[in-house]
């Protein structure tokens, strides 16, 4: 159905918006909604972003979780760093690959917040003994984050939320408009068509062979060989019979048939 990627500065209120979006989707839509973030994978953000090997492991876990959850009948919300400069989980490559597999659509939600405001919110959470980013990790995330541009085709349509200028809650205008657009509310200008996309050659997975196809092929070949050998042993001679494969069979078709036979 849809893949919603929330990106923005650290401690800008992304998790609050993700929770609001999830509740609104559940109220206005009968489809299941899945929220994927670091806590859902039992990971601490400070520990997960401590160094590049751990961050790479985190990206792989997030990608695997999305691959398992995304489908035509599910709305998936990804609440993570989702910075664009140095990760393959961005608003360009990743959704395009998933769209080819599941025929779902991707909608990035960008959090536009001032760095100083995010830093103040992070410090306030630390004083209240709430989960907060360490200064080193916070500075690194701010430095690497690249704000998505709605002019790019892979970032369109881009939803922007401004937590410093408006309150983010379930009934806030930004949340309501985002949910209305994604669910196909006709009262919202430019809302998307909620109808399912029809599968095409580009979005369908190639048909895979059964797990025992090689065994079955070998067994059938052995049976044919045994029948031919037995017929030769019991034969008393006679006319040589041949099988007519047709006239003018090009060698390229012969090679294609052989390649298809040996690739099973």
The encoded tokens of residue 220 equal 């059938």
Look up residue 245 and give its two tokens.
């494969």
The helix (H) or strand (E) run that includes residue 173 is helix 173-183
Residue 77: enclosing H or E segment and its boundaries? strand 75-79
Cα dihedral across residues 222, 228, 229, 234: positive or negative: positive
Given this model, what pLDDT does residue 36 score?
92
pLDDT value of position 185:
61
Question: What percent of the chain has a predicted confidence (pLDDT) above 90?
Answer: 6
The domains of the chain, with CATH numbers, are: 2-183 (3.40.50.300), 212-253 (no CATH)
pLDDT computed for residue 206 by the predictor = 65
Pairwise CA distance, residues 149 & 206, whole Å: 34
Weakly modelled stretches of the chain, pLDDT under 50:
85-93, 95-96, 99-103, 188-189, 191, 194
pTM across the whole model: 0.64
Distance separating alpha carbons of residues 38 and 115, to the nearest angstrom: 22
- The closest of 87, 65, 86 to 76, measured between CA atoms, is 65
> Which residues face 63 on adjacent strands?
none
pLDDT tens digits, 90-146:
444 454 455 444 445 666 676 677 788 889 999 999 999 888 999 999 998 888 888
Q: What pLDDT was estimated at residue 91?
A: 44
In degrees, rounded to 5, the angle at the alpha carbon of residue 171 between the alpha carbons of residues 168 and 177 is 85
Tokens of 137: 């990790």
HSE-CB at 150 with a 13 A cutoff on CA atoms is 9
**CA 51, 56, 58, 60: dihedral to nearest 10 degrees?**
-170
**Per DSSP, what are the bridge partners of residue 77?**
4, 35
């Amino acid at each position: 159905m849809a893949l919603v990627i929330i990106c923005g500065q650290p401690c800008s209120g992304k998790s609050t918006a993700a929770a609001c979006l999830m509740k609104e989707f559940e109220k206005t839509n009968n489809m299941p909604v899945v929220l994927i973030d670091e806590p859902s994978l039992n990971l601490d953000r400070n520990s997960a972003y401590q160094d590049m090997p751990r961050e790479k492991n985190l990206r792989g876990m997030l990608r695997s979780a999305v691959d398992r959850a995304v489908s035509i009948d599910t709305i998936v919300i990804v609440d993570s760093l989702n910075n664009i400069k140095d990760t393959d989980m961005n608003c360009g490559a990743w959704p395009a690959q998933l769209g080819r597999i599941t025929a779902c659509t991707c909608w990035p939600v960008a959090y536009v917040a001032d760095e100083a405001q995010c830093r103040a919110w992070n410090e306030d959470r630390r004083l209240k003994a709430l989960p907060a980013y360490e200064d080193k990790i916070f500075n690194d995330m701010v430095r690497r984050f690249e704000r998505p541009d709605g002019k790019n085709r892979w970032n369109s349509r881009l939803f922007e939320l401004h937590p410093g200028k408006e309150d983010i809650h379930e009934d806030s205008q930004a949340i309501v408009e985002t949910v209305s657009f994604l669910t196909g509310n006709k009262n919202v200008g430019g809302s998307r068509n909620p109808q399912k996309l029809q599968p095409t050659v580009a979005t369908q997975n190639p048909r895979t062979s059964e797990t025992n196809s090689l065994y079955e092929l070998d067994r059938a070949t052995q049976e044919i060989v045994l029948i031919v050998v037995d017929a030769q042993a019991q034969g008393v001679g006679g006319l040589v019979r041949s099988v007519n494969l047709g006239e003018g069979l090009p060698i390229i078709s012969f090679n294609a048939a052989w390649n298809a036979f040996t690739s099973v």
